[in-house]
Structure 1
Amino acid sequence: MDRLNGKIAIVTGAGSGLGKAIGETFASEGAKVMVTDVNSESAKMVADNIGANAMAMHQDVVDPDGWQDVFEVTAKALGAPHILVNNAGLVIPATIEDCTLEQFRLTHNVMLEGVFLGCQTAVRAMKTNDQPSAIINMSSMAALQGYSPFLAYAAAKGGVRSLTKSVALHCKEQNYPIRCNSLHPAGIDTPMVRQAAVGADGEPTPATGMIPLGGLGHPNDVAELCVYLASDASRFMTAGEYPVENGTLYQPS
């Protein structure tokens, strides 16, 4: 497959879970991929598994200088980036009654400020690209429904949703060759969702076939949509929000 042939992509939080699946799927579609993660070893393992079309870098998405380094190293080693997937994140269980200010700030620092820094760096770097470029921001169904057990997470993801639209409209108004969209997954079978803090259990989700009633999605369900939104096939799609949730928006479990 070659839907991303010739594209250069940066995927954050790609050492495991959704980011890993996105990076691997991008590479299978012809892209060269910079895999970044705060866990350097995990990022390197993913890049090594992908092969010659991938590199790994340590990245803490809250560090502005680190963002500049990622784009500069990617451009020198792989080529000027055309795609950014802001995927890095964390989840802290806490309701409005017990969420601390420190927990709230940490969550927003990583998942909202980190996305802001990524979008800002990407727009400045991609606005002179000679071919269409794309920013994909990982939001959540929590941004569309609310999620009382994870207050800070839901609030940050809501901010990502609005930030995405503002970035997309700015790029359109400036006639930059950049589209920006947000994805809104429900529960996906990743290490973050499987951790005790979230409490997901049950059998692993199969990569193909029907999703069992009440089952989690597979990371590939999100990765495949990322491929489409990163490709030139979605050239008329920007400022959009795309649920990946097996109908739970309309029929909550």
Structure 2
Amino acid sequence: MLPLYWLVKMSFQPTPEILSSFRLWPADFTLEHYATIFTDPTWYWPFLNSIIYVAMNTVISLAVALPAAYAFSRYSFLGDKHLFFWLLTNRMAPPAVFLLPFFQLYKTVGLFDTHIAVALAHTLFNVPLAVWILEGFMSGVPREVDETAYIDGYSWPRFFTLIFLPLIRAGVGVTAFFCFMFSWVELLLASQLTSTNAKPIVAAMTRTQTATGIDWGLLAAIGVLTVVPGALVIWFVRKNIAKGFALGRV
């Protein structure tokens, strides 16, 4: 907790005080840094940009991963194990491997510096993880549930949305949490695939360095605000995180 406390403390101190003395609490308490962030578009727009593309990525990843995970959990087909392993290898690769292809592709099709560009780039890593987690949760649901629903006359879309999804809602929540967290903290793709309009907050942190030095108080305030969304998500899914790490098999 010490680094987190120190970050919060610095966000309420003027930068000269941070550099001049060692204190356990602010001597000159100020909200100037937070006021700057919430009133200056240079700072609050990157924060909103991050929320926008992270939300888009989470929705797209779940929309793609849910039917894919259902197929892997319910059907056996030629090369299914190899396809599942190949899907996971995308998650194992570092983001730097895919930076140049994405950059060239987005420049060509006109998606560079847009929210959807970052959201789609992050799906390359989030979809395999989402399929992996959701497949574990879905495999824990007996096949008899599917068969009974079909006998009762349910179509697959109706069965999936009204019966199956409520049974794995904990898994969907945990998967959304992991997708959110990766997209929220990822820096390389988010910073290099944007320039102005969709610049994320993690990339905007570099602007705290000026000709007179680094504005440590402003940088600390931005750091505190970047922790808040992740903390809120963890609060809502905290009871299911351990189950998500075990892929639903606990």
Superposition TM-score tier, normalisation by shorter sequence: under 0.3
Structure richer in helix, relative to its length: 2
Structure richer in strand, relative to its length: 1
Larger radius of gyration between Structure 1 and Structure 2: 2
Larger relative contact order (CA 8 Å, sep ≥ 6): 2
TM-score normalised per structure 1:
0.27
TM-score normalised per structure 2:
0.27
